[in-house]
Structure 1
Amino acid sequence: MYLLSGVLDFFTSLNGIFYTLSYLVGGIPFGLIYGKFFGGVNIREVGSGSIGATNVLRALKAQNPKLAKRIAILTMLSDALKGVVILMIAKAFNVSFEAQWFMAFLAVFGHCFSPFLKFEGGKGVATCVGVVAVFLPLEAILGILMWLVVGKLLKISSLASLLGVFCGVASSFFLHPEIPHITTHTPLVLMMVVIFYKHIPNIMRLIQRKEQKVI
């Protein structure tokens, strides 16, 4: 009874409600929704099976290249903003910074292991950039710049994403040796670990030089 009471207290507390919302909102598979609605395609059955923007582009490109680019951009923005929106609401309710950072992690975790897709999901990059931008905009910008440069030069989405995330997280150790309000880099590192874990198949293909380019 005490355990049940404690669980109920947690999920009905302000932090517990926002933690739950962060995970659930983070898990919304916008790429899958847009792919089916705009293109009639189940992107989980195409290419990598990921619900992210790159696979949306790959799935819709054959039938309508212009539409594919627009939907891929829409997917990327939606994935980035879903974490931002819930954090902005939390700020309005004066949720602590420690709780907000945990919410940021849960949004990324929810995208990667969506409760709506039997705990499968995307790679978490766009969602990570969105939530990090709320707290550390300069690091987010540096990560985006790295992603753009590598993507433009090499046209390998996974490599651009991995280097972009690494650049953003690594730069935080120099720009903010102590993260404001929480002093620790743990949430950033955990997000990077989850993202790299989701990229393991891509990393293996990169090592084998078999990773496809986005043309």
Structure 2
Amino acid sequence: MTGTFQSTAPLLACGAYLLGSVSSAVLVCRLLGLQDPRRQGSLNPGATNVLRIGGYRAAILTLAGDMAKGFVPVALALAWNLPPHWVGLIGLAALCGHLMPLFFGFRGGKGVATMLGVCLALNPLMGLLQITGWLLLALRFRISSLAALTMALITPVLGYWLAPDYLPYLGVACLALLWRHRRNILDLRRGRENRL
């Protein structure tokens, strides 16, 4: 049985990318009659921007959808006992889909929620620690990007202790999130970053 599942691992990786390419923010905004988040606020199709333009309900739905895109394919890979390198690649494929979605002109979000979903599937304790850290920082400083960047930077550290088999893939994911937040980093240094 495991051998059969391993032979389908490349298909699961492709499916993870396609699932990641479904923009929860755009779909939620369309369903709720809100304007396209890629044309409002920060122009980012993510939960934080949806919160600004559509309120808490829209943001929570977006967050849940983005996390599920990372959680579901990785949970399937683990349930099928795929080797760690395939599990890691499948998680990265889901994240890549969110960052560069095929269905939305490769204009994706910043990957925070999808990465949280991946990490929750890999190790629930790691995911809960990340979410707790994000919430504490966001509530304290009211700056979503600062909380996201800190969460990304602690992910390899948490992975070293809680998910060592996936550490290289978590490191790549961390770098991808830092790259997607490069403008936020500049705005933070200049004191211009938007607050929640």
Q: TM-score, normalised by structure 1?
A: 0.83
Rg (Cα) greater in structure: 1
Q: Distance in 2 between matches of 1:123 and 1:74?
A: 17
Q: Distance in 1 between matches of 2:72 and 2:126?
A: 19
Q: Distance in 1 between matches of 2:27 and 2:80?
A: 30
Partner residue, 2:53: 59
Q: Distance in 2 between matches of 1:138 and 1:169?
A: 14
Q: Distance in 2 between matches of 1:164 and 1:98?
A: 23
Q: Distance in 1 between matches of 2:48 and 2:143?
A: 10
1:185 aligned counterpart, secondary structure: helix
Alignment partner of 1:160 out of 132, 139, 147: 147
Which is further off, 131-140 or 27-36?
A: 131-140
Partner residue, 2:21: 27
Residues 47-78 of structure 1: CA deviation (Å, up to 9, x unaligned): 12111100111122xxxxxxx20110111011
**1:205 matches 2:187:** yes
Partner residue, 1:113: 100
**Which amino acid in the other structure matches residue 200 of structure 1?**
R
**Which amino acid in the other structure matches residue 106 of structure 1?**
A
| Alpha-carbon shift at residue 167 of structure 1 (Å) | 2.0
| Alpha-carbon shift at residue 87 of structure 1 (Å) | 2.4
| Alpha-carbon shift at residue 119 of structure 1 (Å) | 1.4
**1:83 matches 2:70:** yes
Alignment partner of 2:44 out of 33, 50, 62: 50
What are structure 2's unaligned runs of at least 5 residues? 1-6
**1:148 matches 2:130:** no
Q: Kindly report structure 1 stretches of 4+ aligned residues shifted beyond 6 Å.
A: none
Q: Report how many residues are paired.
A: 190
Residues 168-209 of structure 1: CA deviation (Å, up to 9, x unaligned): 322333x24x71xx3x51100000111111101111100110
| CA pair 76-86 structure 1, distance change in 2 beyond 3 A | same
What is the percentage of aligned positions where both structures have the same residue? 31
Partner residue, 2:4: none
State the structure with bigger RCO (CA 8 A, min sep 6), 1 or 2. 2
Q: TM-score, normalised by structure 2?
A: 0.90
| Alpha-carbon shift at residue 92 of structure 1 (Å) | 4.1
| CA pair 170-59 structure 1, distance change in 2 beyond 3 A | same
Q: Is the 8 A contact 1:146 1:167 kept in 2?
A: no
Q: Distance in 1 between matches of 2:132 and 2:73?
A: 25
Q: How does 1:170-185 map to 2 (within 5 A)?
A: 170-173=157-160, 175-176=161-162, 179=164, 182=165, 185=167
Partner residue, 1:37: 31
Aligned-residue Cα RMSD (Å) equals 1.6
| Alpha-carbon shift at residue 31 of structure 1 (Å) | 0.5
Q: Distance in 1 between matches of 2:119 and 2:155?
A: 9
Which is further off, 138-147 or 156-165?
A: 138-147
What are structure 1's unaligned runs of at least 5 residues? 1-12, 61-67
